[in-house]
């Protein structure tokens, strides 16, 4: 039985009412927690319980009487005898499960499993549900189940905005290389087969004891046998990786003739690399030109620039021809093209590194923003489409507000949006005779995005009020659709 199967046996959600009550009980366990991730989970659980109470009783949302009152209401069965999964409750459940997954603790992973099972039992074709299941299986080290769930998700969508195909390719290739590695070790150490039936933990302990006693000849087949047994037992990926790393550390520390390890180390590195970032078909990304801050400045100098918001106001603006008249058209993240309303051209695509909407759309320049260098590099390797851009911002352009402007969290408490990073950069460089914002109402008119991104939340971590104040302080002309900073 795999780790995920064992967890399900302990934490199966059953009917929707049972799952919701499990969430309510877990909410009570989080009262007083100082762990930031659990505090955020508690807030999502609170929102779920409010949505559940409202939906189940067809009454207005319950007054905010605190977590204890909500918990009592839930456990006593405030919901109807057979609750149904409406859109509001579904979204709230998915938010709970995603936060539980971020926590990573056993109790929270069990809760995420309960929610995942329930969501997919109620909505078999839920794209968000299958992606959640895949990420959860990956966290539990169940890669075969993760790949299966990712493929279910891909079968339900035409827009792979989260880079799932690359993730699946990486997991598959990593699994193949790991199996090749074990096959090589099995051939190099024929005596390991006698110990491959396990149990892996006992065999590994015996191998370590022999190695510590200086009997390397006896230790080698035991250690490799434990690796083979672990794979046969279906151990989670993290456990297999840990033992492989320990084995290689022991072999390398022993010295001697290490030529036999060359192939093994190469396979080990390749399977680790592919689990982290997937295969890279074209490392040069189609011969892209990397832009420094100075080179980007030269690219835009003297040109009129418009920045197009992903707002409902733009989607009904009929400004397409006016937008196309600017020298440079800048669009953001999951922008949607409608020639009549939004214009037809994209010169600069500014996007956050965390999702991959529109990375395959042909643009002249792509700027990818991200706060953490390692995560930013990981996304570039996985998401960039060779030939989809001529120019690509380098690390000097990775996080303009923080890295160029040196605005700390104390000076600017919220995480700067993609739009604000781009606008701040253009204002800082100050080489554009025209700098216009089209349709920027800071989501007052709702979002206008590609269909696959329409359910993405308007995140609360951004300081939209502060960004709006910054813009209006610098505005020289303001109309219903246009804010001119130059």
Torsion angle of C-alpha atoms 175, 181, 182, 183, degrees rounded to 10: 110
Q: How far apart are the first and last CA of the chain?
A: 65
User: Looking at residue 383, what is its pLDDT?
Assistant: 87
84 exposed, middle or buried (CB, 10 Å; 0-12, 13-18, 19+)? exposed
325-333 long-range CB contacts below 8 Å, 24 or more apart?
Answer: 326/434, 326/436, 327/303, 328/300, 328/303, 328/304, 328/432, 330/305, 330/306, 330/422, 331/358, 332/307, 332/308, 332/418, 332/419, 332/422, 333/357, 333/358, 333/418, 333/449, 333/453
User: Looking at residue 12, what is its pLDDT?
Assistant: 55
Nearest alpha-carbon partner for 320 in 299, 346, 348, 357: 346
- What does each of the 486 residues of the chain score in pLDDT, given as a tens digit? 555 555 555 455 557 888 998 999 999 999 989 999 999 999 999 999 888 877 655 444 444 445 445 555 554 544 444 456 788 889 999 999 999 999 999 999 999 999 999 999 999 999 999 999 999 999 999 999 999 999 999 999 987 878 898 889 999 999 999 999 999 999 999 999 999 998 999 999 999 999 999 999 999 999 999 999 999 999 999 999 999 999 999 999 887 777 888 999 999 999 998 888 777 778 788 899 999 999 999 999 999 999 999 999 999 999 999 999 999 999 999 999 999 999 999 999 999 998 889 999 999 999 999 999 988 988 898 889 999 999 999 999 999 999 999 988 888 877 899 999 999 999 999 999 999 999 998 777 888 888 877 766 555 545 678 888 999 999 999 999 999 999
User: Looking at residue 14, what is its pLDDT?
Assistant: 56
DSSP state of 350: E
Angle ∠(349,352,357) on CA atoms, nearest 5: 65
CA distance 339 to 180: 51
User: Looking at residue 6, what is its pLDDT?
Assistant: 56
User: Looking at residue 482, what is its pLDDT?
Assistant: 96
| Sign of the CA dihedral with 197 first, then 168, 242, and 254 last | positive
SS3 189: coil
CA distance 311 to 333: 12
User: Looking at residue 257, what is its pLDDT?
Assistant: 72
CA distance 57 to 308: 42
SS3 378: helix
Angle ∠(346,349,351) on CA atoms, nearest 5: 150
CA distance 383 to 332: 16
Give this prediction's pTM: 0.66
Instruction: Write b or e for each residue in 449-468: b if 16 or more Cβ atoms lie within 10 A of its Cβ, otherwise e.
Output: bbebbeeeeeeeebbbeebb
67-75 vs 16-29: helix axis angle to the nearest 10?
Answer: 150
> Alpha carbon 122 to chain centroid distance?
24
User: Looking at residue 232, what is its pLDDT?
Assistant: 94
């Amino acid at each position: 039985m795999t780790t995920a199967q064992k967890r399900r046996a302990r934490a199966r959600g059953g009917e929707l009412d049972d799952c919701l009550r499990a969430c309510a009980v877990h909410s009570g366990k989080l009262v007083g927690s100082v762990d930031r991730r659990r505090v955020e989970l508690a807030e999502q659980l609170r929102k779920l319980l409010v949505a559940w109470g409202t939906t189940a009783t067809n009454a207005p949302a319950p007054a905010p009487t605190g977590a204890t009152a909500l918990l009592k209401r839930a456990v006593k069965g405030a919901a109807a005898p057979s609750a149904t999964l409406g859109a509001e409750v579904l979204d709230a459940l998915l938010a709970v499960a995603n936060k539980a997954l971020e926590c990573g603790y056993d109790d929270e992973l069990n809760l995420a499993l309960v929610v995942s099972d329930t969501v997919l039992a109620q909505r078999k074709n839920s794209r968000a549900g299958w992606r959640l299941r895949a990420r959860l299986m990956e966290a539990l080290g169940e890669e075969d189940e993760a790949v299966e769930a990712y493929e279910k998700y891909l079968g339900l969508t035409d827009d792979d905005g989260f880079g799932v195909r690359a993730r699946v390719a990486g997991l598959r290739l990593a699994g193949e290389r790991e199996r090749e590695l074990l096959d090589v070790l099995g051939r190099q150490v024929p005596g390991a087969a006698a110990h491959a039936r396990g149990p892996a933990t006992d065999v590994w302990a015996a191998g370590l004891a022999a190695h510590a006693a200086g009997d390397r000849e006896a230790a080698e087949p035991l250690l490799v046998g434990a690796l083979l047994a672990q794979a046969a037992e279906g151990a989670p990926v993290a456990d297999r990786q840990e033992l492989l790393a320990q084995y290689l550390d022991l072999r390398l520390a022993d010295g001697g003739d290490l030529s036999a390890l060359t192939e093994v180390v190469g396979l080990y590195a390749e399977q680790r690399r592919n689990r982290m970032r997937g295969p890279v078909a074209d490392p040069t990304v189609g011969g892209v030109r990397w832009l420094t801050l100075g080179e980007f400045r030269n690219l835009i100098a003297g040109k009129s620039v418009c920045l197009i918001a992903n707002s409902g106001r733009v989607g009904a603006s009929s400004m397409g021809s006016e937008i196309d008249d600017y020298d440079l058209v800048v669009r953001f993240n999951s922008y949607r093209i409608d020639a009549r309303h939004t214009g037809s051209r994209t010169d600069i695509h500014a996007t956050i590194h965390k999702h991959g909407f529109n990375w395959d759309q042909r643009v002249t320049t792509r700027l990818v923003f991200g706060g953490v260098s390692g995560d930013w590099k990981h996304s570039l390797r996985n998401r960039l489409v060779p030939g989809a851009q001529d120019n690509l911002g380098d690390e000097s352009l990775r996080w303009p507000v923080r890295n160029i402007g040196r605005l700390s969290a104390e000076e600017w408490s919220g995480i700067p949006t993609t739009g604000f990073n781009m606008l701040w950069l253009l204002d800082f460089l100050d080489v554009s005779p025209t700098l216009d914002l089209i349709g920027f109402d800071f989501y007052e008119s709702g979002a206008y995005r590609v269909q696959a991104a329409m359910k993405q939340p308007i995140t609360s971590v951004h300081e939209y009020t502060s960004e709006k104040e910054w813009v209006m302080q610098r505005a020289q002309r303001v109309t219903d659709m246009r804010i001119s900073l130059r």
